[in-house]
Amino acid sequence: MTAIIHQILYKMIATLISIPMLLGINIDCLKADNSNWNTNYTYVFVHGLSGWGSYDDTYKVMPYWGMFGGELMGYLKDKGFDAYAASVAPTNSAWDRACELYAQLTGTRVDYGKAHSERCNHDRYGEDFTGRALIESFSAEDKINLLGHSFGGATVRLFASIMEKGSAEEIAATPANELSDYFKGGKGDWIYSITALAAPHNGTTAYNTGEGKEEAPEEKAGITNPLKDAFAGIADKLMSQFTGGEKDGRIDSDYAAYDMYIDNALELNKTITTYKDTYYFSIACTATTKNEDGTYSPDKKKMESLFVSSAEEMGKYTGVTKGGFIIDETWLENDGLVNTVSALAPSSAPTAEYKEGNVNKGVWNIMPVYDGDHMSLQGGMTKINDVKCFYVDHLSMINSL
């Protein structure tokens, strides 16, 4: 069955990639201007919910980064950037994903922590990446730049926070000779910059719109499935976004779906620090337009049909969460799965509007909102979006700091 799916996808990819060429569209960028670069640290891209990275076979068939517009990591390497795509658990919590990211970057076995694994009812240790680290070196001298799409944003934020301050809970619960270096902290200076892409920093109302209704999980998230048959196994991954996935015995709070409810996302934010010597960037997306009555409707020319139903519901939903957070009109604009306002910056974190030539460390520099739906910064699917030049520009800016 897997082989058949791969054959179907190869044919689809070949057809879709040929479309820009047939139309005479130039999808290449000029050579990256490195004349003002001050650094060129490694770039690590972290996928969102139900996503995949370079350790996964799916990535060889259809890259998460670039989608049908062409694989992004190789393109960036050709432009002079050292770029890699991490692979973390598709539906697990930000904590579990952060632990997996550390193991991949350091070439070690995944350690989810003694306290965490016992509390959440799952194995303490995971996959062993010894001898097959994602990158060549990782230290205070060999820093990295992190980019996280969607829930990958929460993943890289929590990862960086643990790198800096460690985990007091794990230190208290673990014998010294068993404690992972990750939980000891003191490594905040190993990370040069963090970029969050369409990330639900403060949660998403994609869940709230279905509360109180007897609906299937996909319907509750507002996701329809017109592409499910066409994209076979790949679509199954995408359709499961913003659902909890299959439960494996762990407690409910150890899943990404839990972390993205607004109340829970706000609580998670309280545990994540903003390190004074790291650069932070956040890029929100929008693919909706404001109506005369103040609600927002999806722009179907820009938005995948996958997200239209969700965007319509989110574009008119206001209310109060169980924790008392007021969801007002500022939450109506969205990218189909994430509210634009939520993707601007984490709650309680210091922020500043991005200004070229005046970028500060230790604050979230809010970049201009990107005109596209939730998948646009990946490269899109039926709405093919060439993001190569976008990333060449963004990475060049980071190197120039």
Q: For residue 3, how far is the Cα from the chain centroid?
A: 28
Q: Smallest Cα–Cα separation from 192: which of 165, 160, 167?
A: 160
Q: Which domains are seen in the chain, by residue range? A: 2-399 (3.40.50.1820)
Task: Name which of 57-61, 241-245, 333-337 the model is least confident about.
Answer: 241-245
Per-residue pLDDT reduced to its tens digit, 44-73: 999 999 999 999 999 998 999 998 889 999
What integer is the mean pLDDT of 346-362?
A: 94
With contact defined as beta carbons under 8 Å apart, do 316 and 207 qualify? no
The amino acid at 391? Y
> From CA 271, how far away is CA 66, in angstroms rounded?
32
Cβ proximity of 47 and 152 under 8 Å: yes
Cα separation, 218 vs 237, whole angstroms = 12
Predicted confidence band of residue 249 (pLDDT cuts 50, 70, 90): confident
Assess contact for 300 and 315: CB atoms under 8 A. Answer: no
User: pLDDT per residue over 133-153, tens digit each?
Assistant: 999 999 999 999 999 999 999
Backbone angles phi, psi at 93, to 5 degrees: -65, 165
How big is the chain, counted in residues? 401
Assigned token pair, 399: 């190197």
Lowest mean pLDDT among 19-33, 269-283, 348-362: 19-33
User: What would you report as the CA-atom Rg of the chain, rounded to the nearest whole angstrom?
Assistant: 20
Question: Would you state the structure tokens that stand for residue 385, as one six-digit string?
Answer: 């979006």
Tokens 């306002």 locate to: 341
Residue 173 is which amino acid?
Answer: A
Pairing mode of beta strands 83-85, 109-111: unpaired
Q: pLDDT of 364-399, one tens digit each?
A: 999 999 999 999 999 998 899 999 999 999 999 999
3-state secondary structure of 40: coil
DSSP, residue by residue, 213-234: S---HHHHTT---TTHHHHHHH
DSSP tag of 323: T
Which has the closest alpha carbon to 362: 160, 222, 214? 160
Whether the per-residue pLDDT at 334 is higher than 50: the answer is: yes
Look up residue 303 and give its amino acid.
Answer: M
Please state which of the ranges 20-24, 85-89, 174-178, 269-273 shows the lowest mean pLDDT. 20-24
Binning the chain into helix, strand and coil, the percentages to the nearest 5 are: 35, 15, 50
> Coil, helix or strand for 356?
coil
- Token pair listed for 288: 């909706």
More confident residue, 224 or 35: 35
Q: How many Å separate Cα 70 from the centre of its chain?
A: 19
Q: Please say if the pLDDT value at position 216 is more than 70.
A: no
What is the pLDDT, as a whole number, of residue 34? 85
Whether the per-residue pLDDT at 14 is higher than 70: the answer is: no
Contact 254, 99 (CB under 8 A): no
Residues 6+ apart with CB under 8 A from 1: none
Q: Residues 217-223: what's their mean pLDDT?
A: 40
Judge whether residue 228 has pLDDT over 50.
no
Question: Is the pLDDT score of 239 beyond 70?
Answer: no
Report H helices in 260-304: 262-271
**In angstroms, rounded to a whole number, what is the distance separating the alpha carbons of residues 17 and 22?**
9
Share of the chain above pLDDT 90, in %: 77
> Cβ contacts of residue 70 below 8 Å, gap of 6+?
17, 27, 379, 388
Beta-sheet pairing, 279-283 with 191-197: parallel
Inter-residue contact 394 to 195 (CB < 8 Å): yes
- Listed in sequence order, the residues at least 6 apart from 226 whose beta carbon sits closer than 8 Å to its beta carbon are 305, 306
Mean pLDDT, the chain, rounded, equals: 87
pLDDT computed for residue 250 by the predictor: 83
| Over residues 267-278, mean pLDDT | 96
pLDDT at res. 32: 76
- 88/48 Cα distance (integer angstroms): 9
